[in-house]
Structure 1
Amino acid sequence: MTDLPPLREVIAAHGLSASKALGQNFLFDEQLLARIAAVPGDLSGRNVLEVGPGPGGLTRALLRAGAKVTAIEMDRRCLPALAELAEAFPGQLTVIEGDALKIDHDAIFDGEPYAILSNLPYNVGTALFTRWMGGEQWPPNWTSLTLMFQQEVAQRIVAQPGGSAYGRLAVLAQWRSTAKLAMKVHRSAFTPPPKVMSAIVHVTPAAMPEGGSAAKLEQVTAAAFGQRRKMLRQSLKGVPGALDALETLDVDPQRRAETLDVGEFVALARALST
Structure 2
Amino acid sequence: MTLALPPLREVIARHGLRASKALGQNFLLDGQLLDRIARVPGPLTDEVVYEVGPGPGGLTRALIRAGAEVTVVERDHRCLPALAELADAAPGRLHVHEGDALAFDAAAAIGRAPHIVANLPYNVGTALLVGWLTGEAWPPWWKSLTLMFQKEVAERIVAAPGTDAYGRLSVLAQWRGQAKLAMTVHRSAFTPPPKVMSAVVHIVPGEQPAGVRCATIEALTAAAFGQRRKMLRQSLRGVPGALDALTACGIDETRRAETVSVDGFVALAQTLERG
Q: 1:75, 1:211 → 2: CA distance?
A: 43
In the other structure, the counterpart of 1:175 is 175
Corresponding residue SS for 1:194: coil
Amino acid at match of 2:185: V
Matched, 1:54 2:19: no
Q: 1:238, 1:257 → 2: CA distance?
A: 15
Q: 2:210, 2:110 → 1: CA distance?
A: 28
Corresponding residue SS for 2:195: coil
In the other structure, the counterpart of 1:200 is 200
- When structure 1 is superposed on structure 2, of 239-248 and 258-267 the one drifting more is 239-248
In the other structure, the counterpart of 2:7 is 6
Residues 111-160 of structure 1, C-alpha deviation per residue, up to 9 Å, x if partnerless? x1110000000000000001111111111121110000000000000000
Q: Displacement, 1:3?
A: 2.4
Amino acid at match of 1:185: V
Q: Displacement, 1:231?
A: 0.1
In the other structure, the counterpart of 2:220 is 220
Q: 1:88, 1:166 → 2: CA distance?
A: 44
Amino acid at match of 2:222: A
Q: 2:154, 2:225 → 1: CA distance?
A: 17
Corresponding residue SS for 1:188: helix
Count of aligned residue pairs for this structure pair: 273
Corresponding residue SS for 1:94: strand
Amino acid at match of 1:15: G
Residues 1-35 of structure 1, C-alpha deviation per residue, up to 9 Å, x if partnerless? 12211111110000000000000000110000000
What pairs up with 1:35-46 in 2 under 5 angstroms? 35-46=36-47
Q: 1:66, 1:94 → 2: CA distance?
A: 14
Residues 146-188 of structure 1, C-alpha deviation per residue, up to 9 Å, x if partnerless? 0000000000000000011000000000011010000000000
In the other structure, the counterpart of 1:255 is 255
What pairs up with 1:180-195 in 2 under 5 angstroms? 180-195=180-195
Question: Tell me, which stretches of 5 or more residues in structure 2 are unaligned?
Answer: none
Matched, 1:145 2:145: yes
In the other structure, the counterpart of 2:65 is 64
Matched, 1:211 2:191: no
Amino acid at match of 2:272: L
Q: 1:77, 1:191 → 2: CA distance?
A: 16
In the other structure, the counterpart of 1:157 is 157
Q: 1:226, 1:105 → 2: CA distance?
A: 30
RMSD: 0.7
Q: 1:88, 1:109 → 2: CA distance?
A: 21
Q: 2:110, 2:61 → 1: CA distance?
A: 20
Amino acid at match of 2:86: L
Q: 2:104, 2:240 → 1: CA distance?
A: 33
Q: Which runs of 4+ in 1 moved over 4 A?
A: none
In the other structure, the counterpart of 1:246 is 246
Question: Tell me, which stretches of 5 or more residues in structure 1 are unaligned?
Answer: none
Q: 2:123, 2:75 → 1: CA distance?
A: 13
Corresponding residue SS for 2:148: strand
Q: Displacement, 1:109?
A: 2.0
Q: 1:2, 1:148 → 2: CA distance?
A: 24
Q: Displacement, 1:56?
A: 0.3
Q: 1:267, 1:105 → 2: CA distance?
A: 33
Corresponding residue SS for 2:143: strand
Q: Displacement, 1:271?
A: 1.5
Q: Displacement, 1:211?
A: 0.8
Q: 1:164, 1:34 → 2: CA distance?
A: 32
Residues 45-72 of structure 1, C-alpha deviation per residue, up to 9 Å, x if partnerless? 1111000000000001011111110000
Residues 181-227 of structure 1, C-alpha deviation per residue, up to 9 Å, x if partnerless? 00000000000000000000000011111112111001100000000
Corresponding residue SS for 2:18: coil
Corresponding residue SS for 1:267: helix
Amino acid at match of 2:150: Q
Q: 1:4, 1:148 → 2: CA distance?
A: 25
Amino acid at match of 1:27: L
Q: 1:158, 1:62 → 2: CA distance?
A: 24
Q: 1:237, 1:146 → 2: CA distance?
A: 36
Amino acid at match of 2:84: A
